[in-house]
Amino acid sequence: MSIYRNAVWFVKGLQEYTKSGYEAAAKHFSPADLEVNLSDRCFMVTGANSGIGKATAQEIAKRGGTVHMVCRNKERAETAKGEIVAQSKNENVHVHIVDMSSARQVWEFAQSFSQNNKLHVLINNAGCMVNQRELTEEGLEKNFATNTLGTYILTTALIPALKKVEDPRVVGSVPIRQTQWAAFLNDGCCVCPQITVSSGGMLTQKLNVDDLQFEKGTFDGTMAYAQNKRQQVILTERWASQHKEIHFSSMHPGWADTPAVQSSMPSFHAKMQSKLRTEAMGADTVVWLAVSPATVKLPSGQFFQDRKPVATHLPLASSRSSPQEEEKLLAALEEFAQKFKP
C-alpha cells in the first residue's frame, strides 16, 4: 500500500499541484467570480506577512476589503502591511501581533477583537512545521499547538461574532507540503512528494486521536504536520454541520513558490522552481472562497482545489476516521481550549 500511495501521489502532484496544473484549471474559471466590491466586508488572515497569506490579504485589499493581518513577527508584519497598502491603495489594513502557538494569547486576542471589531470572513492560513519535538511555554507540542489548537480556539472564539453578520465564512488553507520531494529529486527513490516518506501526506493520513501531541515513539515533524492538516479538514467538516449560518471550507493551494519553500527546501526549489505556482496562483482559491458569491452556492464543509471541491482521501488509502474518533478529537480540543481560556 505504501508503494501504491506514493506512486499515486507522485503522479497526482505533477499533474495537478504545479503551475501547469493551475493553468489548466484556470481555463475554466469565471473571471466575474472575483469582480466584487468588498468595501463593506471585514477579513481576518492569519500568517499574512508572507507567502500565500500575504497574497490573499493583497487581493482582498485591492477589492476594498478591510484586512486584519494576524502575525507573529511585528517587524515583518508592518513591512508587509506597508507593501499591501502601497499596492492596493487601501488604508484599511491592520496588524495584530499574536503567537498562534500560545493558546492563552489566541484566546485573549479573539475575545478582545470580538468586542471591538466586526468580522465577515476568517481565513486560517498560519501554520508551522517543526522537525524536532518542541514544547511551547504552555507545555504543548508546537506543531499541534499552532496548526490545530490555535486554529480551533481562534475559530470557535470568533464564531459568535461571525454569526452577527451577513454571509459569514471561514476558510482554511491546508497546504500539501512537498518536503520530501528533495529526496526524490536527489536520488530518484519513490518517496511521497508531500511530507512523509513512509505513509504519505494529509490525503493518505488517518486521524490518530490517541497521540495528538506525538508523545509515543520517534517524533517525525512531517508526520505531525500531516496529522495536523487532517485534523483541520475534519474540524472544517464538523463545524459546517454544527453552524449552518456560517459557510466553512478548506482548500489546498498547490505547490507555490513561497519564502518558506525557498528557505527550507533550497534543493527542491532550485530543481522545481520553473514548475512551482506563483504566490498569487496559490492564493487564488483562498480568495475565491472568501469573496465570491459563487462559493456560498456550494455545500459548506468541503475541501477545494483550484475552485472545485475535491476528495479528502485517496482511493484505497484507508485514511477515513470513524465518527467516534472525530468526536474524541473535538472533545480533546475543547478540553485543551478550556484549560487555557482566560
- pLDDT the model gives residue 275: 80
Instruction: List the single range of 135-144, 166-175, 331-340 with lowest mean pLDDT.
Output: 166-175
- pLDDT the model gives residue 324: 95
H or E element in which residue 119 lies:
none
How far apart are the C-alpha atoms of 42 and 117, rounded to whole Å? 9
- pLDDT the model gives residue 2: 52
Instruction: Please give the residue that has the higher pLDDT: either 170 or 206.
Output: 170
Mean pLDDT of the chain: 86
Average pLDDT, integer, range 212-232: 88
Predicted confidence (pLDDT) at residue 53 exceeds the cutoff of 90: yes
Active site residue 225: yes
Residue with cell 507522485: 10
Q: Which burial class, exposed, middle or buried, applies to 230 when counting CB atoms under 10 A from its CB (0-12, 13-18, 19+)?
A: buried
Pair 234, 207: CB distance under 8 Å = yes
Average pLDDT, integer, range 316-322: 75
Predicted confidence (pLDDT) at residue 143 exceeds the cutoff of 70: yes
Predicted confidence (pLDDT) at residue 180 exceeds the cutoff of 60: no
- pLDDT the model gives residue 317: 63
- pLDDT the model gives residue 74: 97
| Angle between the N-to-C axes of helices 279-291 and 51-62, in degrees from 0 to 180, rounded to the nearest 10 | 50
Average pLDDT, integer, range 195-199: 25
Predicted confidence (pLDDT) at residue 100 exceeds the cutoff of 80: yes
CATH number of the domain located at residue range(s) 3-171+192-239+255-339 in this protein: 3.40.50.720
In this predicted model, what pLDDT tens digit does every residue of 245-271 receive, in sequence order? 999 999 988 876 666 656 555 666 666
Instruction: List the single range of 58-62, 69-73, 95-99, 173-177 with lowest mean pLDDT.
Output: 173-177
- pLDDT the model gives residue 201: 57
Predicted confidence (pLDDT) at residue 175 exceeds the cutoff of 90: no
The catalytic residue among 17, 22, 152, 225 is 225
pTM of the model: 0.89
Q: What percent of the chain has pLDDT over 90?
A: 68
Average pLDDT, integer, range 279-292: 95
| Listed residue (63, 51, 133) closest to 93, CA to CA | 63
Instruction: Please give the residue that has the higher pLDDT: either 198 or 62.
Output: 62
Predicted confidence (pLDDT) at residue 115 exceeds the cutoff of 80: yes
Grade residue 187 by pLDDT with cuts at 50, 70 and 90: very low
Instruction: Please give the residue that has the higher pLDDT: either 62 or 266.
Output: 62
- pLDDT the model gives residue 195: 22
Q: How many residues are there in the chain? A: 342
Q: What is the 3-state secondary structure (H, E, C) of 69-107?
A: EEECCHHHHHHHHHHHHHHHCCCCEEEEECCCCCHHHHH
Predicted confidence (pLDDT) at residue 48 exceeds the cutoff of 60: yes
